[in-house]
A and B are shown apart, each in its own frame.
Chain A
């Protein structure tokens, strides 16, 4: 039987595993299947987990590898469009500007997968560059450069020229801001 401590560690990693899986796959249902398969793999290979090391990082590595092999298989069958990626991530209206937020997701979906995953691991999941490098099985320098390229590309895609200028379409945002609140 699964050690209750390990089981709790696994469960507490689930929310961020899902967030990572959704940002990789761009699809909530697929992401949840991916998380489920990750947990099953982890349980089946629990002997290879070293107690005291980072459970979350271990699970992220498994999930990423599963996604990679699945992605290679599926990529010929299904081409995810920018639109469907953004669609799958939408919801949650409590944003300062929904339009701006959706633009961000579309832009994120346009990043090459290597850059997107590096940016998410470091910028959102809170892993160090070293941990992210271990998860992606590459050098720390590679992660750093992917994160930098991802940030620059996002800034380009969003045509950001300053903190108050996030998003290419001021007029539309102004109209939404005026009409959308209250």
Chain B
């Protein structure tokens, strides 16, 4: 039926609008966090691990075998 077809068309068009609106909100929310960059604690943590590992490797040159 014609009306049904039209309704379906309308829904399809609406669907795209809704999807793009949802997509925008989702990315805005996500990007707010991404834009905060890398908090210092993570840089610091990796740096400390590097130092720690470096020290371990000098004191224990051979790795234990399990």
Contacts and interface: CB of A to CB of B under 8 A. Distances in A.
**Are A and B physically bound partners?**
yes
A18 B36 contact: yes
A162 interface: yes
A29 to B, nearest CB: 11
Given A1-B53, A1-B54, A160-B21, A124 B30 contact: yes
Interface of A: 1-2, 7, 10-12, 14-16, 18-19, 22-23, 32, 35-36, 39-40, 43, 89, 91-92, 95, 100-101, 104-105, 108, 119-120, 123-125, 151, 154-155, 158, 160-163, 166
B22 A151 contact: yes
Nearest to A22: B33
B50 A95 contact: no
Contacts of B14: 161-162
A43 B25 contact: no
Interface of B: 14, 17-23, 25-39, 41-43, 45-46, 49-50, 53-54, 57
Nearest to A148: B19
A25 to B, nearest CB: 12
B27 to A, nearest CB: 5
Nearest to B32: A92
A7 B21 CA distance: 36
B20 A104 contact: no
B34 A7 contact: no
Contacts of B28: 95, 101
Most buried by B among A1, A39, A105: A1
A103 B57 CA distance: 52
Contacts of A120: 26, 30
Contacts of B32: 91-92
A104 B49 contact: no
A15 B37 contact: yes
A31 to B, nearest CB: 9
B45 A36 contact: yes
Contacts of A91: 32
A160 B46 contact: no
Contacts of B18: 151, 155, 160, 162-163
A60 B55 CA distance: 30
10 contacts: A7-B50, A15-B34, A18-B34, A32-B41, A39-B45, A104-B29, A123-B27, A124-B26, A161-B14, A162-B14
